[in-house]
Amino acid sequence: MQRAGATGGGRTYRGQIPVNWYAAVVLIVVVGLVSIVYSRSEYRRPNTAVAPTKGTTWYAGISFDICGKQEAALPAKSSTTGISTSGNGVIVISPTTAAQAGNHATLGRFVAGYKGLQISADALQYPGMARLANGDTCPSGTPDAGKKGSVVIESWPNVEAKTSTRVTGDPADFKIPQTSLIGVGFVPSGTKLQKSASVEVAVLQAAAAAESATTTTTAPGSTTTTTAPGSTTTAPGSTTPTTAGSTTTTAK
């Protein structure tokens, strides 16, 4: 008895509950249940990719107002960024990689692929023209010559929209909506950009042409008939012998 007491053994030691061991078991069970529930919820959740997805094509429009003068549409130019222009004010958004798709289809990506074009919250440079920064004076020869201007960017959510929304923050992060119109301007304070009618029409035509190219229209009630070699189709009321390769038609 003295030896057992001295070593801390005996019935008291053997009767202790292994709390740490049970706690570890409970923790393992809880983690396992949470993992199962999470896996099932992820399996049931629909896999919806953010548009525009890789391999699809969107169309939008862009126009430029420099000190009250509506500039010509940007010349057509291909791009490796997944966003290009066809030369009539139409922006073609056709991502070929995941890095170009979804929320990456931005105005900044378009600008990055067009040499000579610069659009930021502080400055605007139209290809072939001088760079204009906020507070600069509109150049001579423009309707707003002598007035101080700043960069303004407005967006119509679709070509039918009557009112636009001012794009705030960094315009490079602005995601280009499908069939939308973007107005970029360097104009005096308080100027409201106008939607370009020619660009609006060009976007509608591009979208319609793309839809027509991917749709096959078949006239109702039409059928396709395969005729054996040597046979002849005759008018109603006529008779045709069944001899292959020969035809005799008798009008009635």
If you ran DSSP here, which 8-state letter would residue 73 be given?
P
CA 186 – CA 75 distance, rounded (Å): 20
What the block records as the tokens of 100 is: 């170009």
CA 167 – CA 184 distance, rounded (Å): 10
pLDDT at 4 exceeding the cut of 70: no
Name the band, by pLDDT with cuts 50, 70 and 90, for residue 61.
very high
CA 172 – CA 179 distance, rounded (Å): 19
* Average of per-residue pLDDT across 98-119: 96
> According to the model, what pLDDT value does residue 213 have?
82
Instruction: Return the minimum-mean-pLDDT range out of 7-21, 161-175, 222-236.
Output: 222-236
* Average of per-residue pLDDT across 182-210: 95
Spatial neighbors of 155 by CB under 8 A, at least 6 apart, are 164, 165, 167, 174, 177, 180, 181, 182, 183
Give the residue from 116, 129, 123 showing the smallest Cα distance to 149: 123
What the block records as the tokens of 230 is: 């040597």
Give the residue from 184, 185, 224, 178 showing the smallest Cα distance to 204: 178
Cα dihedral 185/124/206/204 (nearest 10): -10
* Average of per-residue pLDDT across 203-223: 72
> pTM for this one?
0.67
pLDDT at 20 exceeding the cut of 50: yes
Give the residue from 141, 136, 140 showing the smallest Cα distance to 187: 136
Give the residue from 101, 95, 76, 94 showing the smallest Cα distance to 86: 76
* Average of per-residue pLDDT across 158-162: 92
Helix or strand (DSSP H, E) at 199 = helix 197-213
pLDDT at 57 exceeding the cut of 80: yes
> According to the model, what pLDDT value does residue 16 have?
61
The b/e string for 146-164 (b: 16+ C-beta within 10 A; e otherwise) is eeebbbbbbbbeebeeeeb
The type of residue at 89 is G
Name the band, by pLDDT with cuts 50, 70 and 90, for residue 52.
very high
DSSP state letters, 99-149: TTSGGG-BHHHHHHTSTT-EE-SSEEE-TTS--EETTPBPPTTSTTTTSBE
Name the band, by pLDDT with cuts 50, 70 and 90, for residue 189.
very high
